[in-house]
């Protein structure tokens, strides 16, 4: 039986600011999110095994997600001076990435089958091998919620977890699927 209280403690130790229960049946994988990826505003589309199209079709991603019933939503919230505070936005994004990487190591040691999704492309290697060579660390690679077609605000509200924590705050979202 999965000890979710213990896992929540580990997640807090990794640096997340908010953690909530995730009902995997409420996860919707939407082609519209994939369409936004294809616009390549983040410049990662077609450049990383963790991003579309390298991370697989939406149907392949759905097959992976539907193996699970429960998990946790993992959030990192930070404060901005104003809506143009790009330095703080970068810092919050980096803090979330570090928390995801740290937590993925911990959870992988306890539940090797657990699946962690973060925000943005995998950054384990300085340069991703995509598409010329296979991924160097397929067991460690962390794809993003968006790559799996998930609208992060929707999955938070479906699970009764806030996504908005007030004016001049920014929240990055990840999740772990465990059982």
Binding mask 14-33 for ligand SF4 (x = CB under 6 A): --------------------
Least spacing, CB of residue 142 vs ligand SF4, in Å: 8
With CA atoms as reference, report the closest residue to 80 among 70, 68, 91, 88.
Answer: 88
Spatial separation of the C-alpha atoms in residues 86 and 93, rounded to whole Å: 10
Residue 12 touches ligand SF4, criterion: CB under 6 A: no
Site for ligand SF4 in 32-91 (CB under 6 A): 48-50
Q: How many CB atoms lie within 10 A of CB 131?
A: 12
The tokens describing 141, both together, are 């690679």
Least spacing, CB of residue 93 vs ligand SF4, in Å: 17
Site size for ligand SF4, by CB under 6 A? 13
Binding mask 121-150 for ligand SF4 (x = CB under 6 A): -x-xx--xxx----xxx---x---------
Spatial separation of the C-alpha atoms in residues 114 and 70, rounded to whole Å: 10
Site for ligand SF4 in 94-113 (CB under 6 A): none
Query: Closer CB to ligand SF4, residue 12 or residue 101?
Result: 101
Q: Where does the chain have alpha helices with state H?
A: 4-14, 31-38, 58-65, 86-110, 152-158
Spatial separation of the C-alpha atoms in residues 34 and 114, rounded to whole Å: 23
Q: Enumerate binding residues for ligand SF4 (CB under 6 A).
A: 48-50, 122, 124-125, 128-130, 135-137, 141
């Amino acid at each position: 039986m999965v000890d979710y209280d213990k896992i929540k403690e580990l997640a807090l130790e990794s640096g997340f600011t908010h953690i909530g229960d995730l009902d995997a049946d409420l996860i919707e994988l939407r082609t519209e999110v994939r369409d936004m990826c294809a616009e390549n505003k983040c410049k990662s589309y077609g450049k990383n095994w963790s991003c579309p199209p390298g991370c697989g079709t939406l149907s392949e991603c759905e097959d992976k997600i539907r193996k699970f019933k429960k998990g946790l939503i993992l959030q990192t919230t930070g404060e901005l001076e104003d809506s143009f505070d790009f330095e703080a936005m970068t810092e919050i994004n980096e803090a979330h990435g570090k928390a995801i990487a740290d937590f993925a190591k911990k959870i992988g040691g306890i539940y090797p089958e657990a699946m962690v999704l973060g925000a943005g492309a995998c950054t384990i290697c300085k340069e991703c091998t995509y598409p010329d060579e296979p991924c160097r660390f397929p067991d460690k690679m962390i794809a993003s919620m968006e790559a799996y077609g998930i609208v992060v605000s929707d999955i938070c509200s479906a699970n009764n977890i806030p996504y908005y924590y007030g004016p001049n705050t920014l929240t990055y979202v990840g999740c772990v699927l465990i059982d």
